[in-house]
Structure 1
Amino acid sequence: MPDRAKILMVDDREENLIALEAILSSLDLVPVRARSGEEALKALLGTEFALILLDVRMPGMDGFETAAHIKRRERTRNIPIIFLTVVDSAPDYAFRGYAAGAVDYLTKPFDPWVLRAKVAVFVELYQMNQRLTEQAALLRERLAAELPSGEADQPAVLPELSRRLTAAEDELNRVMELSRKSDGTLSGPLADLGRRLAHLRAGFDALV
């Protein structure tokens, strides 16, 4: 059973963090607050996050600088970032956000339903990645056991592995369909996940 996904919310205003928590309260996730870019970077040192909601305009280290640090770190560079900023921001903010590695950009005040829906899809993608990692570990164990002494338990293990792979493939197809019906934000991450799943399936097919 995958752990509950954690979402890092970064904003220098407490009322904005409280509002974000309220918007996401119906989702099965753990919100973590950070009041500055420095706090966010500290939180990322010891915790794995499914998504970062990052305010652009903060005193000291702003959202762009914070994102640059996140993307430079090997451990955190693949965490998706959604930038949040006020509607009257400079016209190049959206471009700078995407250039800094953001997967999406929302202006305040934003529609709570839109934000909740986007976060929900990223959480589901994160949990799929967790499950896929577990399936890959199981396949590696099965491959390592492909010795004469391990042949006896092969019939019991392979059907279960096949069932889990099929479930992951079905779930990926469902999320890809949801992405196509929305704005295509997840096309890149979903393509990467699809390639990983295809490699896993090829390894399983070679095994059987």
Structure 2
Amino acid sequence: MPEKTSRTKKLLIEVARKLFAERGKKNVTMNDIAETSGKGRRTLYTYFKNKDEIYKAVIDSELIKIFQEIQSVSLEKIEPDIKLTKHIHKHLDAIKETVNRNGSLKADFFRDIYEVERTRRKIDIQEIELIKSILREGIEKKLFKRMNVELSSIIILYALKGLEVPYIRENMGIEFEKNKNSIVDFVLAGIKLPTSKEMI
């Protein structure tokens, strides 16, 4: 029974997400979600009291997907400098994918940025832990300089987050894609130890 319940709730969240993406939050009703899902109003109201509650569930679901994409990098058996590079790319690509997948909903995300940030705090803490792990490994392997790992992880995360709003607003476009490697180079330049060749 719990498995069936979970599947039903996930279905309702995904149906709501698609409707919000197509029409925008304000143009979707609970009736629309119930009818499109084929589950009916009674089932919908069993899980969600109102549209705001299911909207928050959609935000939460999308942020979890972003984190899972980012987390996948941490499982790879690669050197920490390459892992940090892939982490940065994956973070930005996951944001792009979420923005593109959600159409009209991205405007609501931007208007409700404080709500999004409240939902995101736990995930931010988890991502900081992933970055800290990469930095510690890099220091142990003498690839990265000794640093305040806690502070450096927070700075890296918030530097990435600072790039997200222009991306959501589509102000960076193709140039952003071209300059992703420059962003990585900028971050790594501050933390990598020079190689023996670079010291000559």
TM-score of the two chains, using structure 1 as the length reference: 0.30
Which is richer in strand? 1
If asked which structure has higher relative contact order (CA below 8 Å, sep 6+), I would say: 2
Which has the larger helix fraction? 2
